[in-house]
Amino acid sequence: MRGVKAVLFDLFDTLVEFRNDRLHVVSLDGREIRSSSPVLYELFKGRWPEVPFETFHRAFVGSWEDVRAEREIDDREVTADVRFQRLFARLGIADAPLEALRGLVATHARQLLRCMECPEANRDLLKRVGARYPLGLVSNFDHAATAWTALEQFELRPCFRSIVISAEVGVRKPRREIFQRALNELRVEPADALFVGDDFRADVVGARRMGLTAVWLDRGRSQPVDGVVPDHTIKELGELEALL
Ligand SMILES: [Mg+2]
């Protein structure tokens, strides 16, 4: 593509898929949902056996809702450590030792990693695109170590010249700062960069606002935002190469 000097990617649900069906099923209020809470509870109840699973699970889901609400205020990242502090707060546990919190965070991270999958085709595409352009990665993720482990595990890390994870910079897409960090590391101007991601608000709104060319990977899970038009919309990541 004329004028493009660097290509930047979102990570989750763009390059790496998230397989929810690898999590345990939790039945609650007549509904079945997939959650990492059963595995977390096994660890948790060793120290707090008096708290029933249902109470734990509701607090676990509630802590996620707390974090989402906090993020919505100004797109500041709320890390996994803080999320689990909210969990303890909801359970009325004021004196949770740091090691208990760390144990839950690490166990949760392992659960998430088990669910991640990088299709071979995505890695191959990155290698081909990477042979033509310097690549950047800008990810909204609340636990940096997990994102780095996923990048190592799927052998994606060497593909990128710049990797920026929200948990490390403190703000999330669509905030300008997180894109700017990657552009600085790639030494390109926004107008010379193309960004591809699946989340309309984070990826398309963020990239457009910064003046990058925005490619929306529309996987049917994210709603467009009024007044914002992506430069290109694709249904499969493989369609990206035809645009470049
Ligand atoms: Mg995504």
Q: How far is the CA of 16 from the centre of ligand 1 (A)?
A: 9
> 115 C-alpha vs ligand 1 centroid, how far in Å?
15
Flag residues of the chain having pLDDT under 50.
none
223 burial class (0-12, 13-18, 19+ CB within 10 angstroms)?
exposed
Q: Can you tell me the distance from the alpha carbon of 40 to that of 119, in angstroms, rounded to the nearest whole number?
A: 28
The rounded Å distance from CA 120 to ligand 1 centre is 18
Q: What is the pTM of this model?
A: 0.95
pLDDT given for residue 201 in this prediction = 97
Contact 217, 197 (CB under 8 A): yes
Name the 3-class secondary structure at 8.
strand
Please work out, in degrees rounded to the nearest 5, the angle formed at the alpha carbon of residue 8 by the alpha carbons of 147 and 232.
Answer: 125
How much is the pLDDT for 92?
97
- Ion ligand 1: residues, CB within 5 A, are 10, 12-13, 198-199
How many other C-beta atoms are found inside a 10 Å radius of the C-beta of residue 100?
A: 18
Decide yes or no: CATH 3.40.50.1000 for domain 6-16+118-243.
Answer: yes
Q: Which helix (DSSP H) or strand (DSSP E) does residue 39 occupy?
A: helix 37-44
Whether the bond between 174 and the residue before it is cis, its omega within 30 degrees of 0, is: yes
* Cα-to-centroid distance, 44 and ligand 1 (Å): 30
Domain boundaries, the chain: 6-16+118-243, 20-115
Neighbouring CB atoms inside 10 A of 234's CB total 18
Distance 176 CA to ligand 1 centre (A): 17
The rounded distance, in Å, linking the Cα atoms of 160 and 9 is 10
Question: Tokens representing 181?
Answer: 């960090």
Please say whether the beta carbons of 179 and 212 come within 8 A. yes
Find the 204 Cα to ligand 1 centroid distance in Å.
Answer: 11
Backbone angles phi, psi at 90, to 5 degrees: -65, -30
pLDDT for the residue numbered 177: 97
Give the per-residue pLDDT at 156.
97
Hey, how many other C-beta atoms are within 10 angstroms of the C-beta on 105? 21
In this prediction, residue 1 carries a pLDDT of: 72
Q: How far is the CA of 198 from the centre of ligand 1 (A)?
A: 5
